[in-house]
Amino acid sequence: MNKSFFTTKLTPVIAIIICYILYLSGSFQMMIAALLLIIASAVEYKKELFSSLGFQRKNLNIKRLLIVAPLLGIVIFLFYGYVLMPGVTYLTGKPIDFSEFESYEGNLPASLSLLALIWASAAFGEEIVFRGYLMRQFTKFFGSSRISLVINILLFGFLFGWLHAYQGISGQILSGITGMLLAVIFHIRKSDLWFNIAVHGFIDTVALVYMYYGWL
């Protein structure tokens, strides 16, 4: 079998199938999935492993990551909380299920632990999996035409929402829309994964503050 075919075509397919099997078995963890896809990228791209995911050194702009990304993250969360959430819950007739996070309300030690997990699993893990790997692999296989881009954004937005099933149907829809917004940012920023990680991390950080004070 042609070595190039194995590394560029079969490797990503095998890696995604393994992730799906883990999901079906109930053993799926975002950090494990991210690690598997990093290994798949290493097999395919070797020395260009990190740049293939969007970790480009030229995009490590501190001002952009510590000022622009937090502000954008806050804006997206406010849009999520005060526009999307009321609209979606009105349409579905079902509030988002935040019961999994009830124990963090007023609990500072637990909230700080969750903050670390948010940045590791959600900001880094989800962005590596959905934007850094899946979106770029989709573009590699199906091109970067306008219709391909639209399908790319919609497909992985849907999958992103699907993984948030524990929040109920309203939570899935809102997470899917958020995933699509992050995908659009990733496209506009020309696959700058550092920026996406920062934006995602600050969205969830603001959400955690709201949960801590019982505002959600």
Which pLDDT tens digit goes with each residue over 132-162? 999 999 999 999 899 999 999 999 999 999 9
Residue with more model confidence, 43 or 27: 43
| pLDDT tens string 82-103 | 999 999 999 999 999 999 999 9
State the CB neighbour count (10 A cutoff) for residue 46: 10
Q: Which pLDDT band holds residue 4 (cuts at 50, 70, 90)? A: confident
Mean pLDDT lowest for which of 19-28, 158-167, 168-177, 184-193?
A: 19-28
Residue 176, Cβ density class (10 Å: 0-12 exposed, 13-18 middle, ≥19 buried): buried
Residue at token pair 């790997």: 133
* Residue 168 confidence (pLDDT) above 90: yes
Lowest mean pLDDT segment, chosen from 55-64, 110-119, 125-134, 143-152: 55-64
pLDDT recorded at residue 3: 60
Per DSSP, the three-state class of 51 is helix
User: Which residue, 160, 154, 100, is CA-closest to 126?
Assistant: 160
pTM over 0.85: yes
- Cβ atoms of 56 and 194 closer than 8 Å: yes
The per-residue pLDDT of the chain, averaged, comes to: 92
Asked if the model's pLDDT at residue 192 lies above 90, the reply is yes
Alpha helices in the chain (DSSP H): 3-5, 11-25, 30-45, 49-53, 62-63, 69-79, 85-92, 108-117, 136-142, 146-162, 168-188, 193-212
What percent of the chain is modeled with pLDDT above 70? 98
pLDDT at 60: 82
Q: How far apart are alpha carbons 141 and 155 in whole angstroms? A: 14
Task: Give residue 29's pLDDT.
Answer: 87
